[in-house]
Chain A
Amino acid sequence: MSTMKPTDETPGPSEDTTSEVTDTTPALTRRTLLARTGATLATGALLMHGRAQAQSSVPGANAPRAGSAADTGGKVARQSHLPPGKAGRDYRPVVVPNGAKLPWKDVGGVKVFHMVAEEVEHEFAPGLKATCWGYNGHVHGPTIEVVEGDRVRFYVTNRLPASTTVHWHGILLPSGMDGVGGLNQKAIAPGETYRYEFTVRQSGTGMYHSHHDEMTQMALGMVGLFIIHPRRPVGPRVDRDFAIMLHEWRIDPGTRRPDPNEMTDFNVLTMNAKAFPGTEPLVVRKGERVRIRFGNLSAMDHHPIHLHGYQFRITETDGGRIPESAQWPETTVLVPTGSTRTIEFVADEPGDWAMHCHMTHHVMNQMGHDVPNMVGVKPQGLDAKVRPLLPGYMTMGQTGMGDMAGMHHMPMPANSIPMVGGKGPYDDITMGGMFTLLKVRDHLDGEGDPGWYTPPQGTQARPAQEDELRRDGIIV
C-alpha cells in the first residue's frame, strides 16, 4: 500500500530552461545551479526518464563538491541563487503538528529571516510547563521552510543570558556560516545580532541548533527543523507532509526547568516538544500520500518510531533522497540522534493509528526510577498498617504502571504530569511521551482533529461470547 506511484509529470530539470530567474546573474540558469550543486543530478535524472530525479545526489560522492578545491568547474564556491521559492507554487508546505514556522520576507530576491534566541515558557503537556530556551517564543524553534536554490539570510539576535550560535545541521554551506562557536565564528554574545547568509543547494530535511555549550543549550530546547523542498517535486507528489522533531528532556516532577546535566535518565520524551497527551494528531484523508519527516536532536537516544496500520518506505535520510531501489518496506524507522529520516506511504486504511517510539520508557512521562518493583506484591493489610502514619498512602504498582492512568485524583507534585494516560475513546491510553496518533478518515471537515474513529460493525475486538467459545471448543 505504500508503493511509490509516479504521479509527477513534471519534466526533468534538463528540460527546464524557461527561466523563473529574475536574478541579476544572467549566466545562471536553474540547470547550471543544479549542475553545480549535484554534479550527477542531471545525468541521473535523464537516465530515470524524468521521474524521481535527483534522488541519489550525494554531494562529493560521485564528483567533487561544487566549489571545492577538487571541483574543476569553478574557482570558488558560487553563491548564485534562484528567486525565492513560494509555497503553493514551488512546494506544498509541511505541516508541523504543535509547531510553528519561521516567517520570512523577500528582500531583493533573498529570503530574510529573523531568529531571536530567548527564554521561552513552554508547555509540554497539560500540567507540565518549564522555562526553556528556544527561538522566537517557540520551543522548539520554528520550522524553517525553504526551497532548493533559495538565497537565505538569517539575522540571529541573542536575548539569552549566554552566548550562542546557530549551526545549520546537514546543510551544505560555506564553512564560515557553519555556526560552530569558536571554530567558525565568535559566539554571539547576549544582546548581539549576527547575520548568516548562504544559498541552499540541496533538498531534504535538515535541522538547526545551537553549537555553543551544546549540552546546555540543546537540552534546554534550542533546536529546530530546516525543511528544503526541491525546486521541482521529486518522486510522487505527496498530499500531506508532516515534520516532527524528536527530543528528550529531564524535568523532575515539581521543577520548572529542564536539567541539562542529565546524561541518561531522560523522563520527558517529545514530538515537536510535546509529550502525549499533549501531542496533536496527524490528520489525513483516506487515500492521500503521506510523508512524515523525523529529525532527532535528543541528547543521548535514538528513537525507533513505529507506525501502526501501515507499511512505509524510508525515502530520505539527512543525506538526501534514497533511490527507490534501496528503499525497504518498514513499520519502524530508527531515527538516530543527530539525523533525519523521512517515510512515505499511502493512507488507504481509515482509523486511529498509534505512532510512537518503541522504547517503552520513551512512552512514559516523568517516570521515577527510585521505586521498588512492586509487581506481584500482595498488598493486603499493608495500607491499613501504613495509613495511621500516612493517611494519604495507597499501595501502587503491584500490577504494574497501568493503574497510573487512573491516578489523577491523587495529589501530585506541582507542575508534573502522570507517567501515562491520555484519554482514549474507550479508556485511558496507558502511554505518554513520544506518542501520537495518525487519524485517517474517509471524509474530513476542515483541518482540525476529527475526533475518535468508530470502527465499522464487526471490525473491532470485543468480549468473546459464550456460544462462540462453545462453538470453537475454547475452554476458559
Chain B
Amino acid sequence: MHWKSPWLLSVLLLGGCASVQKERGHLEVAALVEERTGLNTRWNQGTPEDAQVRQHLDALLAGDLTSDHAVEVALLNNPALQGTYEELGVSQADMVQAGLLTNPSFDGSIGFPLTSDGGMEHEFSIVQSFVDIFTLPLRKRVANEQFLADTLRVAHEALVTTAEVRQTFTEVQARQQLVALRREVLQAADAAADLSGRLRAAGNVTALALATEQAALEQARLELAQDELALFEAREHLNRLMGLFGPRVQWTLAQKLPEVPAAEASLEHLETLAIRQRLDIDAARKQVSLLWNALELARSTRFFGRVDVGVHTHRDANGPRLLGPTLSLELPIFDQRQALIAKLEAQHRQGEDRLTELSVNARSEVRAARARLVTLRNMAERYQKVVLPLRTTILEESQRQYNAMQIGLPALLIARRDQVEAWRAYLETVRDYWMARADLERLVGGRLPVPTAPAPTPEPTSAPSPSPEPTHEHHEAH
C-alpha cells in the first residue's frame, strides 16, 4: 500500500484538523451582542468558570438593579437563551462534520480451501470515496454558512431577550411609581373619610355622606391592591427573563423612570439601518446564500455517482500476489439528484421570499415603532410641560380657594387626587415611551443613537419636578 501518497496524506490531515471548538460560536454571538448592546454574554457549559459567573451574578444583583445590569443578568442566566446557545454547539458540530472526509473503508477477505488441492487465498483493499475530496470545500462552505446563520440567529435571540428585559425593567420601574401614587390616592381618600367621620361625630353630615366617603376609601384600597399585584407580576416577569429563583429574587430597584429626552435623535434612515444591521435579516440572507451553495453543490455533482478509489491487493493461493487500484463508479442513470435539486431550488426561493418578507415587515415595523415613539414622546412632553403644571396650578388655586373658605377639604382632596391621576397618566406615557424605544432598538437591531441630553430648562416655581415622580414642595403656603 502507498500509505505515503502525498495527496492522500494531505486530505487526511485536512480532515483531522477539523476538531470541535466549544467556545467558538458563542464568542461570535458575544461579539455581535456586545457590538450592539455593549454588554457581555456567556455560555455556561458546566466549567469551573461558571462559579465565577455566579459570583458575578450576585454582584450584579447586590445593589439597586439598573437596566443594563438586568440585561447582563439575563444574557448570562436566562435558561431559554442558554438553550439557544447550545444550538450553536449542534450547528458547530454539523460544520465540523461537514469538514471531515468520509473515512476510508478497509476490506479484507481470506479464503480457505475446502479441498486439499487449494491453498489459502486472501484479499485486502482500502477504498476512499473520491468525490468527497473535490466537494469537501463546497460542503464546508455550506456548513460554515449554516453555522454563521445559526450564530446570527442566536445573537438575534439574545437581542430580542435584551429588548424584552429592558421593556420589563421599565414596566417594573413604572409599576413601582404607580403603586406609590396609588398610595397617595388612598391617603387622600383616607383623609376625606376621616374628615367625614369627624363631621358625622360633630353632627354635621348624614350617615349617607359618611358611608359614601367610606365606600370611596375602600375602593381606593382595592385599587391599590390591584396595582400592587401588577407590580408583583411585572417583577416576576423580570425574574423569569433573568432566570432567577431563591434568594436572588430579592433584588431592589430604586431608579425612577428616566425622563423622556428633550429631543429625539434623528430617526432618519432607520429602515436602512434595520436592513443593514438586523441579525435575523442577516441570518435569513445567509440562509438564502447557503441554500444557493447547497443547490450548486447538488447541481455540480449531478452526474457524479459515487466514485470510490482505492488500492487492492490480492493473492491467490497459487498465484502471484497482485496489487492494483480499484475504482467503483456509481452510474447516475436513475437518480440524477433531480428531486434533491428541485427541493433545494424550492427551498432557495422560499428563503428568498422569507428574506423579502422579513425586510418588508422590518421596514414597516420600524416605521410603526418610530411613529409610536415620536407620538409617545410628544405626549410625555405635553404632559410634562402643560398638563402637570396645569394640575399643579389647579391644586394651588384650590388651596387658595380653600384658604378663602370657598371650597372645603373634600374638593381640595379631589384636586390633589386629580393631580395624582395626571401623574399616573404621565408615568404610563413615559413608560410606554421607553418600551417603544426598546422595541425600536430591537427592530433596528441595535441601540439607537443616544439622544442629545435635555437642556436644563429653568423651572417655573409652580412646575413639577422634572423627574417623573410626584412632588409636594409646590403646594406649601406662601
Contact = CB atoms under 8 A, between A and B. Distances in A.
Given A254-B400, A368-B405, A371-B405, A382 B191 contact: yes
Interface centre among A396, A401, A411 (most CB of B within 10 A): A411
A418 B187 CA distance: 30
Contact of A374 (B199, B201, B407, B412): B199
A390 B413 CA distance: 8
A28 interface: no
A403 B190 CA distance: 26
B405 A372 contact: no
Nearest to A418: B404
A409 B404 CA distance: 11
A393 B194 CA distance: 15
Contacts of B412: 390, 393
A388 B203 CA distance: 27
B202 interface: yes
Contacts of A407: 403
A39 interface: no
A378 B205 contact: no
B187 A370 contact: no
Contacts of A412: 400, 403-404
Interface centre among A367, A377, A378, A418 (most CB of B within 10 A): A377
Contacts of B397: 254, 413
Chain A binding surface SS class? loop
B399 A401 contact: no
Contacts of A254: 397, 400-401
Contacts of B188: 389
A414 B403 CA distance: 12
B401 A372 contact: no
Interface stretch (B328-336, B427-435, B470-478): B470-478
Contact of A392 (B194, B410, B475): B475
Contacts of B403: 392, 396, 407, 410-412
A386 B417 CA distance: 12
B198 A419 contact: no
Interface in B400-427: 400-413, 416
A200 B415 CA distance: 59
Contacts of A371: 405-408
B412 to A, nearest CB: 6
Contacts of B395: 390
A372 B408 contact: yes
B409 A386 contact: yes
A383 to B, nearest CB: 10
A376 B202 contact: yes
Given A377-B198, A388-B472, A411 B478 contact: yes
A366 interface: yes
Interface in B461-475: 472-473, 475
A379 to B, nearest CB: 7
A401 B406 CA distance: 12
A397 interface: yes
A385 B191 contact: yes
Chain B binding surface SS class? helix
A19 interface: no
A391 interface: yes
B404 A372 contact: no
A373 interface: yes
B93 interface: no
A385 B189 CA distance: 11
A392 B121 CA distance: 115
A411 B400 contact: yes
A236 interface: no
Contacts of A389: 184, 187-188, 191, 413, 416, 472
B399 A390 contact: yes
Given A389-B188, A391-B472, A392-B476, A382 B194 contact: yes
A375 interface: yes
B204 interface: yes
Given A375-B204, A376-B204, A388 B187 contact: yes
B439 to A, nearest CB: 36
Nearest to A378: B198
A57 to B, nearest CB: 49
B204 A393 contact: no
A396 to B, nearest CB: 7
A379 B409 CA distance: 12
B416 to A, nearest CB: 5
A411 B478 CA distance: 6
A390 B418 CA distance: 13
B195 interface: yes
A368 B405 CA distance: 6
Nearest to B205: A372
A182 B188 CA distance: 57
A254 B402 CA distance: 12
B433 to A, nearest CB: 28
A379 B405 contact: no
Nearest to A381: B194
A253 interface: yes
Interface centre among B187, B194, B402 (most CB of A within 10 A): B402
A321 B263 CA distance: 80
Interface centre among B188, B203, B395, B404 (most CB of A within 10 A): B404
Contacts of B203: 376
Contact of A419 (B202, B204, B405): B405
A377 B203 CA distance: 9
A22 to B, nearest CB: 59
A404 interface: yes
B207 to A, nearest CB: 15
A377 B204 contact: yes
Interface string A12-55: 00000000000000000000000000000000000000000000
Nearest to A383: B191
A272 interface: no
A4 B286 CA distance: 119
Nearest to B472: A391
A416 interface: yes
A252 B404 CA distance: 11
A372 B410 contact: yes
B136 to A, nearest CB: 77
B194 to A, nearest CB: 6
Contacts of A416: 404
Interface in A61-114: none
A377 B202 CA distance: 5
Given A372-B204, A391-B472, A397-B405, 14 more contacts: A253-B406, A254-B400, A371-B408, A372-B410, A373-B204, A374-B408, A375-B202, A388-B187, A389-B191, A390-B412, A393-B399, A410-B403, A410-B477, A413-B400
Interface of A: 252-254, 366-368, 370-379, 382, 385-386, 388-397, 401, 404, 407, 409-414, 416, 418-419
23 contacts: A253-B406, A254-B400, A366-B404, A370-B406, A370-B407, A371-B406, A372-B199, A372-B204, A376-B202, A376-B203, A377-B195, A377-B202, A377-B204, A378-B201, A382-B198, A389-B413, A390-B399, A390-B475, A391-B472, A391-B476, A394-B477, A401-B405, A413-B397
Interface of B: 184, 187-188, 190-191, 194-195, 198-199, 201-205, 395-397, 399-413, 416, 472-473, 475-478
